[in-house]
Amino acid sequence: MNPLELAGARPGPAFTVTFDGRPVEALPGQTVAAALWAAGVTSWRSTRSQGRPRGVFCGIGVCFDCLVTVNGLPNRRACLVPVRPGDVIATQDGTGQEEACHAD
Amino acid sequence: MSESLTCDVVVVGAGVVGAATALYAGRAGLDTVVVDRGPVAGGTTGAGEGNLLVSDKEPGPELELALLSSRLWAALAREGLGRAVEYEAKGGVVVAGTDRALAGLEKLAAEQRAAGVEAVPVPPDALTDLEPYLAPGLAGGMHYPQDAQVMPALAAAHLLRASKARVLTGREVTGVLRGPDGAVRGVRTDRGVLHAPAVVNAAGTWGGEVAARAGVSLPVLPRRGFVLVTEPLPPRIRHKVYAADYVADVASDSAALHTSPVVEGTPAGPVLIGASRERVGFDRSLSLPALRALAAGATGLFPFLAGVRALRTYAGFRPYLPDHLPAIGPDARAPGLFHACGHEGAGIGLATGTGHLLAQVLSGRTPDLDLFPFRPDRFTEEAE
Amino acid sequence: MRTDLAVVGAGPAGLAAALAACARGVRVTLVDAAAQPGGQYYRQPAAGLGAARPEALHHRWRTWKRLRDGLAAHAVHVLTDHHVWSAERTPDGFTVHALLGPEQDQPVEVRARAVLLATGGYEKVLPFPGWTLPGVVTAGGAQAMLKGGLAVPGRRAVVAGTGPLLLPVATGLAAAGVEVAALVESAGPGRLARHGRALAGKLPEGAGYAARLLRHRVPVLTRHTVVRAHGDDRLTGVTVASLDAEGRVRPGTERHLDCDALAVGHGMLPHTDLAESLGCRLDGLTVAIDPEQRTDVPGVWAAGEATGVGGADLALAEGHIAGCSAAAHLRGTAPGPAPAALKARAKLRRSAAALDSAYAPPAHWPEQITDDTVVCRCEEVTAGAVREALDLGAGDERTVKLLTRAGMGWCQGRMCGTAVAGLAGCPPAPGKRPFARPVPLGVLARQHPQEGPS
């Protein structure tokens, strides 16, 4: 048994996104976190001060531990953001803004 | 638990001013007890940004106090407290959006220079060398290398620890003991009596209440301010940056909402955005108009902030006196009573100078600055 | 947009309230952050997953169907993907400020004559060494990811902590194919029995879970706790130990369980940020209400977990009563809630109180937190740093926060507040979060009449 079988799911066609450059299969309707979990990935952020790995904790958008960079935008909550075909998902280091947002 | 203690000085208030007073009093050899009805840094100190500014002060007694305080903060930092209190000699940058504002800023800077302030003009094209993320099109600015920053709550806690004073938190002063000659003999608290020949009122915004408990009046009033705190960011804002209108707002007598943004980064990552000012009593409830004005001012100075999220906001109450100068020194109406409160939005910065001067007075020495402009009974005289 | 009653939160309380008010002739706008109504309890699989049997993930499916069909039949205006960040009083009522999801950078305002807060709750987790490792999730989080995304955290899980939520999480994960190595409950078996009478309403449900745990061969360890989670960059196992009658770990009873997921929870906390911004009085950590579910601010009602954690059935009853009262206030009629709802509320509040005392975390849990354990997950503040702050003169949550930054990060202390209070030895205090969620400065700035420095 798996969760999809349990719920009798007949999802739309799977699509591909990338996580840190490698392809990951995702299903329509899944959040970024669900897609990553289904692919066996449990961490996608390293903390600001200790550089420790983090992933989903509260699963409902309250704890902000699952922050991730999606299509160049940092600090997205993976447990809330729906995954979309072609998404480029990247492990977020620290604030996730070290390179983004220049003055020019 | 009720107890009776005897010491040389009771300091009422465990905010940064009380802590600095305890530190310098202790160094002067005085046995000091600090008492506060709340925790350490529980009042305005805990709501402060930690500004150690000379740039926003017009020449006069407050600027002299700020310059003295600035030297003392730097000395404490050198002694090894700097790291613990997150002291940063980062400097301030004041910017002007228009030629008119710039002319005002240049005039102020010239007067400040004569009083000993370093103020370096920054032409418009050089502003981004100091602050790469500043908005384009500003008329110019002024660099104030002496402006600095500390983390206020850490500053209060670490100055208290360094003072070696006994600290009694969660204990309210309910009365000031006076002898038959009117002289102060100590304080009564909700848990016992503290005997001392000298009592320092460092109760900040609540300094008026403490004065009343000693039987004297001190018209300290609250002026509410909000601070916006952003998500953690990499270091992008290097100085304390504010618009030239800030100085006018600080000096304003109006009760209405004033917001000129003061924007600064912190070692921990978040950017702090102050400094709304309005006189609404002790009303802590959220004011979206004040926050919108702060956000508009800050994004006007630093456009990248528009995409940055505010995680929180908090209100604090600046303790001010009618002439916008603090009350520092002995109170002629109650021998043995001293005041160190009413620093408005500058209490963190002015704490060291205040504590140092009070310690000099408490130990019978001549203070480094003339305390006459700060005399606590000056409002009574006016009333007479 | 304008409405009569803005209901914030589309979980059981908000749905019941919206339906009750709408049925009584009030224009209702129901605002919720999720893509579909249901809240955490009735969280539905995303539409794109095409779940033919969502009921397999749920209990009380019939109740959900009734709510869902009621929503379809009534003229409730439902705003999904609306993340409410603040609510304010205005001269003619209230404005609810939301950000449009999932990007949350576009503002939306809902103006209403009255507001009903059904903001629900979130899970409380007490720290222990290793709790920040990937693979350690909240029990409710594991359930939310399963119900909404049909995803599970690993192959072999331990479900641990305390509280009635652990049972459905363990059986849910097991039904979804996860090997559940153990359900570790810190309450003793006797404590539940002692509260048997008040729990009468809950017992059939409990018996059902027991049968399911048996069917999935889930070992149940009562009066046990997880003392440490192991792993380098992700969870590889946990150490569990037995607790003595005082709630202390019994030395020598530690044993290791291999697992790649740990679902852990110690009860629920209410979301009260909006109530606080509106100036509503709190009673401890929950919104204070009168028998009609009114807060002390005229025009503001509250129902469900925000007014006291008690489960979905209680939330439904409270929501109904609140919706009836709000409708009566808005239309100038008498409230007249269903008598059954009043009776149910009284009974369910009693059993909630009984559950609360039966399922308490071990009395000495702060002692288990080693100095090197991160307590504030956002700012990475350790228990040692918190203890240092206590030594520096802090005696309460706020001062610890000021001296250590614990609670100043992205989650604003929602995850660490209870732990910090526990370490400080003081009762947990409400959070004081004027922003219920982060808000872009650009959104605030654009709402200001004039921009920029002069």
SS3 of B290, please? helix
Indicate whether C418 and C316 sit together in one domain: no
Confirm whether C387 is domain-assigned: yes
Tens-digit pLDDT string for chain C (454 aa): 899 999 999 999 999 999 999 999 999 999 999 999 999 999 999 999 999 999 999 888 999 999 999 999 999 999 999 999 999 999 999 999 999 988 888 999 999 999 999 999 999 999 999 999 999 999 999 999 999 999 999 999 999 999 999 999 999 999 999 999 999 999 988 766 665 555 555 555 666 777 888 888 899 999 999 999 999 999 999 999 999 988 999 999 999 999 999 999 999 999 999 999 999 999 999 999 999 999 999 999 999 999 999 999 999 999 999 999 999 999 999 888 889 999 999 999 999 998 888 888 888 899 889 999 999 999 999 999 999 999 998 889 999 999 999 999 999 999 999 999 999 999 999 888 999 999 999 999 998 876 433 3
The domain boundary residue, chosen from C337, C358, C385: C337
Q: Do C144 and A4 touch (CB under 8 A)?
A: no
The domain boundary residue, chosen from C266, C298, C320: C266
Q: Do C442 and B307 touch (CB under 8 A)?
A: yes
User: Could you list the residue range(s) of the whole structural domain that residue C394 is in?
Assistant: 369-424
Number of domains in chain C: 3
Residues 6+ apart with CB under 8 A from A8: C51, C52, C53, C56
C54 touches chain A (CB under 8 A): yes
Confirm whether C436 is domain-assigned: no
User: Could you list the residue range(s) of the whole structural domain that residue A38 is in?
Assistant: 30-82
Answer whether residue B127 shows pLDDT above 90: yes
Q: What is chain C's mean pLDDT, rounded?
A: 93
Q: Do B311 and C434 touch (CB under 8 A)?
A: no
Q: Which of C50, C101, C136 sits opposite A10 (nearest CB)?
A: C50
Burial of C245 (0-12, 13-18, 19+ CB in 10 A): exposed
Give the pair of three-digit tokens for residue C69: 């069909």
Indicate whether C253 and C283 sit together in one domain: no
Confirm whether C437 is domain-assigned: no
C101 touches chain B (CB under 8 A): no
B263 touches chain C (CB under 8 A): no
Cβ neighbours, 10 Å, residue B97: 21
CA distance linking residue B268 with residue B271, whole number of Å: 9
The pLDDT averaged over each successive group of 10 residues in chain A (104 residues) is 95 97 97 97 96 98 98 96 97 84 40
- Search chain A and give the residue with CA nearest C122: A62
Q: How far is CA B205 from each of CA B45, B170, B202, B250, B286, rounded to the nearest angstrom?
A: 10, 17, 9, 17, 19
Q: How far is CA C39 from each of CA A29, C10, C14, C46, rounded to the nearest angstrom?
A: 17, 5, 9, 13
Q: Which of B98, B260, B295 sits opposite C444 (nearest CB)?
A: B295
Q: In chain A, which residues have their Cβ closer than 8 Å to the Cβ of B134?
A: 103
pTM of the model: 0.94
Return the CATH class of domain B92-145+221-319.
alpha beta
Give the pair of three-digit tokens for residue A14: 């799977």
Confirm whether A87 is domain-assigned: no
Indicate whether C255 and C131 sit together in one domain: yes
CATH number listed for the domain at residues B3-47+153-220+323-383: 3.50.50.60
Q: Do A29 and C414 touch (CB under 8 A)?
A: no
CATH 3.30.9.10 domain range(s) in chain B? 92-145+221-319
Q: What CATH number does the domain containing C332 carry?
A: 3.50.50.60
Q: Which of A48, A101, A103 sits opposite B232 (nearest CB)?
A: A48
Q: Do C149 and A33 touch (CB under 8 A)?
A: yes
Q: In chain C, which residues have their Cβ closer than 8 Å to the Cβ of A27?
A: 48-49
Confirm whether A95 is domain-assigned: no
Could you please report the per-residue DSSP string of A22-78? Answer: EEEEE-TT-BHHHHHHHTT----EE-TTT--EE--SSSSSSS-TTEEEETTEEEEET
Q: Do C445 and B167 touch (CB under 8 A)?
A: no
CATH 3.50.50.60 domain range(s) in chain B? 3-47+153-220+323-383
